[in-house]
Amino acid sequence: MAGRVVLGFLRTLRPADRVWTSPPVRGVHLSAAFCAGHNKWSKVKHIKGPKDEARGRMIAKFVMMIKIAVKEGGPNPDMNVNLAQLLEQCRNKNVSKASIETAIKNAEKAKPASRHVFEARGPGGCLLLIEVLTENTARSQQDVRRILSRNGGMLSEGARHNFTRRGVVVVPGRDVTSERALELAIEAGAEDVAETQDEEDDAPLLQFICDNADTWKVRTALEQLGTKVTSAGSEFVPRVLMPLDPEQLEAASALIEALSDCPEVLRVWDNIRPES
């Protein structure tokens, strides 16, 4: 489940462990998920729909986000950071050039839409933030409420207080050891490292977490260190993680998948602790 940031802090580097000559940085933590070699969804055997349908939904959501980014900041990615980040993600997901160009061209004709974040509580008491891009907020809220009620969840004000906005730079995690991940984080100026998986092919990814204002700096530093960056942007990171038993984890997976299948839902963030 890409993008679900896991901050199960495991350990902090001691000053004696730091051998780099760069300016001092805060201790870098490695998530429990990375050290354990698996993530919170590794034992969930939920049956997913056909991949072509899932890919179609993904492309449709990228098209929506591109149109909004163009409306907000113009069609030139050199002058529009949000658009530039989206185009990079599209390239990494092999979205066709024709689809991207059509989305940019038709942005001005698109109906007015806005982003909203709904707060919710899921199975086992886990907290969810559901970001939607919609032309009708009331309708979208009803759709989200319906999906939640059918899958053991409910809208719940206050969930957002358990999350904070952080900068997240994502890079491929294959063949990167935990020691090297920590080295990269310290050299790039990131605060934490977490592992996740690509939602399409389950390929391992590393998330370098930093202050929002430092996102571009961390991204640039990682690229200079020879690391390919998959995406970079602002995300919701949980303050406190919620442990779930296997049954609750299965139910939470089904709920998040159902929400993600909703055409207007862009992202779902959770505070679920990785499996032990």
Q: Are residues 259 and 137 in the same domain?
A: yes
Whether residue 156 is contained in a domain is answered as yes
Q: What is the CATH number of the domain that holds 189?
A: 3.30.70.980
| Number of structural domains in the chain | 3
Lookup: tokens for 175 = 């063949």
* Domain that includes residue 148, residue range: 114-160+249-270
**Mean pLDDT along residues 174-182:** 86
What's the CA gap between 151 and 146, in Å, rounded? 9
H, E, C per residue of 27-71: CCEEEHHHHHCCCCCCCCCCCCCCHHHHHHHHHHHHHHHHHHHHH
Q: Are residues 150 and 185 in the same domain?
A: no
Question: Which pLDDT score, from 0 to 100, does residue 161 have?
Answer: 94
Backbone torsions φ then ψ of 48, nearest 5 degrees? -95, 160
Give 195 or 193, the one with higher predicted confidence.
193
What one-letter code names the amino acid at 53? Answer: E
Model pLDDT for residues 215-254, shown as the tens digit of each residue? 989 999 999 999 988 888 888 989 999 999 999 999 999 9
- Name the pLDDT band for 16 (thresholds 50, 70, 90): very low
- Name the pLDDT band for 11 (thresholds 50, 70, 90): very low
| Residue 52 pLDDT exceeds 80 | no
Rounded to two decimals, what is the model's pTM?
0.71
Q: Are residues 86 and 217 in the same domain?
A: no
If you average pLDDT over every residue of the chain, what do you get? 79
